[in-house]
Amino acid sequence: MNLKEDELEAIEAELKMLSNAEGIKNTLNRVCGELAEGEQPITQQLKTLSNLLNSYTGFHKDLPEINSRLQSAQIELSDIADELERLNDHINYDAEKIEELNERMSAGYKLQKKHGVQSTNELLAIQKQLEEKLEAVLNIADNIASLEAQVSDHQNKTVSLGEKISQARKKQVPAFEKV
């Protein structure tokens, strides 16, 4: 199934968004409209209020700071409206995508249930363990051949060492025979 880290959780989040795409788009349109479009957009109202206040900033020491904050709020709300509009452009209801994600999520959840785990990452850990076991089984012939070669090598060394010891003993026999 080739899952990626946290994939099922991401699919679930995307499905929630896609399933609610229409409501999200309607809300984003309304908020954008209230902030930056329509008859009395909030950003335009703040700009108008800032202009009104600006004409009196020289008459009170606190007014320039308050007006600056009002202008900052207007800029921030304009930025928020732009960002909401960008989000709105990227949210679309897609029945095919929803079906594809549901199938993938269903398969993933079946695997989670089968292996008694709760997350994609736990499934990936099990997959890694199974791959390692499979690799070990597939390489068992190589491992056996390697071990047999080691045994043969050790056996040859043992026989060679035994021969050296035997020859050394034979060299010592004449010395004991004289005694």
- The single-letter code of the amino acid at 109 is Y
Query: In this structure, which long-range contacts are made by residues 107-112, counting pairs with CB atoms below 8 Å and at least 24 apart in sequence?
Result: 107/1, 108/1, 108/3, 108/7, 108/8, 108/11, 109/8, 111/1, 112/8
- The single-letter code of the amino acid at 5 is E
Cβ count near 115 (within 10 Å)? 13
Q: Which residues contact 61 (CB under 8 A, 6 or more apart)?
A: none
| Burial profile 74-106: b = 16 or more Cβ within 10 angstroms, e = fewer | beebbeebeebbeebeeeeeeeeeeeebeebbe
What are the structural domain ranges in the chain? Answer: 7-120
91, 17 in Cβ contact below 8 A?
A: yes
CA–CA gap between residue 99 and residue 101 (Å, rounded): 5
Per-residue pLDDT of the chain (179 residues; tens, 9 = 90+): 788 888 889 999 999 999 899 999 999 999 999 998 878 899 999 999 999 999 998 999 999 999 999 999 999 999 999 999 999 998 988 889 999 999 999 999 898 999 999 988 998 999 999 999 999 888 888 889 999 999 999 999 999 999 999 998 888 888 777 76
CA–CA gap between residue 94 and residue 91 (Å, rounded): 9
The overall pTM is greater than 0.75: no
> What per-residue confidence (pLDDT) applies to 4?
86
Q: Is 35 exposed, middle or buried (0-12, 13-18, 19+ CB in 10 A)?
A: buried
CA–CA gap between residue 162 and residue 49 (Å, rounded): 105
